[in-house]
Chain A
Amino acid sequence: MHFASPRDAIAHHVGVVHQERNLIPRFSVAENIHLEQLGAHVLRPVDYAELNRQARRWLETLNLDVDPATPVSQLSVAKMQLVEIAKALSLQSKVLLLDEPTASLTSSETDTLFGILRQLRDSGASLVFVSHKLEEVQEICDRVTVLRDGANACESRPMEGLGRPELVRLMIGRSEGGGTWRKRDTSGNPPVLELRQVATALGHRDIDLTVRRGEIVGLYGLVGAGRTELAKSIMGQFPVTAGTVLIEAKPVRIGSVAEAIHQHRLGYVSEDRKGEGLILPHSVLGNAGVPIWRRLAGLFGSLSDGAVRRAVLPFIQKLEVKTPSLSQTVGNLSGGNQQKISVAKWLAAGVKLLIVDEPSVGIDIKTKAYLHDLLRELADAGTAILVITSDMPEMVALADRIMVMDAYRVRGEVANTGVYADVSQRIMNLIHRAEERREAEPA
């Protein structure tokens, strides 16, 4: 069987809940849920009363208390997620694929969702639950397939009798706690970046954060916790509205990203490599040199390829970027090599602080290990590094300290001991506590 189009899949009763939001913002909840069914008669007037009535049924199944006539754009992210699930349910799917459905849900919302998924299972539906949260997989799944490096690490093993350590071993290819993490003491180093009671225009409040010379600080949080947004605010893309930002103990106001890069020597490797990190249609040379163009400029702002090449090539070679030539279009390279170029760019610029957002998204395991080694090596050489990742094993393998974020605030700090079970437990505890506190507060 092969589906030619989403419509084809829907016709075969396969429902998908995608990780990214796939709703039409201005349409009502009911209409979004039933968009598929409207296609049968493109001219027959839509009966909104009937649509709302049907939608209410699915919303009730999900314990979702919203008026089906509300435009989706007025809902919270969590509710949108539930609407997506309602949408998939309404197709009477025999097979339901859920891609990270809990990414933006609180723990109580997750519990409700799991209740519904169990009911569905009991009524005969097949569910595929894609997640990187081990707790959830253990809680809800009957059988598990672990994917590693784009291949099966295990196929449909019964969940029963499969313990957490075994699962982790399958996921990271070795047992936990081993790895290359080593304790590094950097507490005596001078801080490179300090945030004191910082608030931003994006909604961060009371952020305290210190990154010292040679230190790797992790920033952990669920999707929507405001980590990337904090990084971009530090880089000057969004204004800091209160508090103090200190670079090497000097209070600074960073008005633009250009200032952050050229005056304060900060660098940011974006999680969205293809959209924000690299200029895909341009060459390797054209990408790796961007931050230093101004520095290399000669008379009348002239710039020679030779100068850029001389400045950049050592780093491209050091990182063993695999490319036929420096004029190769970056978009034609593999994800791992693209990521190496995004890092090489900042090495060439000689940054003091490097913020790395989701360093191993879409890259192969070898490059990932290589990048980890590289980041450690950079830190040892004195660069301050702030790592943002949702990949817990990666966090445990890299960070010296882990700051936990939730709802645009820093909720606590966890010292990394290198023991996965212990560290991840403490991080999740912090997040759960923060969620409970949030739910207790009046909306």
Chain B
Amino acid sequence: MTTATPLSRIVRTDWFGPLLVTIAATVLIGGFSPSFLSPLNIQVLLLAVAINALIAFSQMIIIAIGQMNLSVGAIGGLAAIAFAGMMEVWGLPAPVALVLALLIGIACGVLNGMLIAITGISAFVITLATLSIFKGINLGITRAQPFYGVPEGVKAFGTAVLIGPVPWLAVPTAVVAVALWFMLRRQPIGRFILAVGGNEHAAALSGISVRFTVVVAHAISGLLAALAGVLLVARLQLGQPSIGDDWLILSFAAPVIGGAVLAGGHVSVAATLLGVVIVAIITQALVLFSIDPFLVQVVLGALILLRWTRHRSSRRAASKNHSPASRRCAASRCRCCRAPSMRCSARTAPASRR
């Protein structure tokens, strides 16, 4: 085993690559188009990042347990129209509506988690079904018409600036990022989430309640999706029923760019955040250079695939000196959907010989 110098340790972290890309992209685009670094543009960028980061975190926490949540967008949309609707129709004050909307998000998440944990049916199928249920409730309530009666206070929050180009909307996101980081790093529940994702069998044998952990992870996911939906209402100044429709790819792209292992057990808050930033920068650049906005989708897809190439080359380097076992995962192809999760079935931990 080589001893790691501090530098090489930094290089090996998940956030190092995305950070380099972020800096390089900023410098490059800023060089071509100085308006890219204007305060206004930075504010637009931060607004996008603030909301997209919550969407990405909502998916990331589910990726951490080795599952996926297709209903992130539907939960966000439902919470968003509930938030706007409760204020307009029932005249509830914004804080009460906020709490209720977040509770709805948690409830949706708990429903997902319970269905998955109790039945053992794959998360994909369950969340596909709930996606459609939540979205249908959304359409049933709104009849596809937006709620316009968002109070001025909420609208003001959506446009207010904290200092310089930093919008108030970024504050909840920052709090969430730190809290998630702390939870995944330091709190047993966060460690359990990663343990279940890393090796569910071992986690169960270590006395961790896998079901409880799965439900908690989905509840957090629902909460974050709902928060993203609510913030989006503040930003758009209206309760759009179509909120959440286009979240799916984004929610996966950022964690994957941030090096999350879809099999579970390995996610990084910082790298995911940087993944969101990269996506935002590229989107913004396409707009600045007035390139077809449809190409944003292509770029998102390409980024996901590109991330794999890196993943693969580093894996090849790692398997050079040892381990038939660590390769086994690659050789055997993911058995994935067979299990309720997306994990690869490497039955043995990387075996190293001396």
Identify the A interface with B (CB < 8 A). Answer: 5-7, 10, 16, 18, 20-27, 31, 35-36, 38-39, 41-46, 72-77, 80, 87, 202-203, 224, 226, 229, 237-238, 275, 407-408, 438, 443
Contact = CB atoms under 8 A, between A and B. Distances in A.
A24 B199 contact: yes
A26 B263 CA distance: 13
Main SS of chain A's interface residues? loop
Contact of B353 (A22, A23, A35, A203): A203
A23 B354 contact: no
B1 interface: yes
A74 B189 CA distance: 24
B331 interface: yes
Interface of B: 1, 182, 186-189, 191-192, 194-195, 198-199, 201-209, 265-266, 322, 324, 327, 331, 345, 347-354
A74 B1 contact: yes
A45 B187 contact: yes
Given A35-B206, A36-B206, A43-B187, A80 B349 contact: yes
A38 B188 contact: yes
B6 to A, nearest CB: 14
B202 A22 contact: yes
B196 to A, nearest CB: 9
A18 B203 CA distance: 13
A42 B187 contact: yes
Nearest to B353: A407
Q: Which 9 pairs from chain A and chain B are nearest by CB?
A: A22-B202, A7-B207, A38-B188, A42-B189, A202-B324, A24-B198, A35-B206, A45-B186, A21-B349
Nearest to B261: A26
B186 A21 contact: no
Nearest to A229: B324
B217 to A, nearest CB: 12
A226 B351 CA distance: 11
A36 B354 CA distance: 30
Contact of A39 (B202, B205, B208): B208
Nearest to A16: B205
6 contacts: A5-B204, A18-B205, A24-B202, A31-B191, A45-B187, A238-B331
A46 B324 contact: no
B354 to A, nearest CB: 5
B207 A36 contact: yes
A6 B322 contact: no
A46 B345 CA distance: 30
Contacts of A10: 207
A22 B201 contact: yes
Given A44-B188, A45-B187, A408-B353, A237 B206 contact: no
A443 B353 CA distance: 10
Contacts of A41: 188
A68 to B, nearest CB: 15
A321 B330 CA distance: 35
Given A7-B207, A72-B349, A202-B324, A24 B354 contact: no
B1 A21 contact: no
Nearest to B322: A203
Contacts of A26: 194, 198, 265-266
A203 B202 contact: no
B336 to A, nearest CB: 14
B207 A27 contact: no
Contacts of A226: 324
Contacts of A43: 187-189
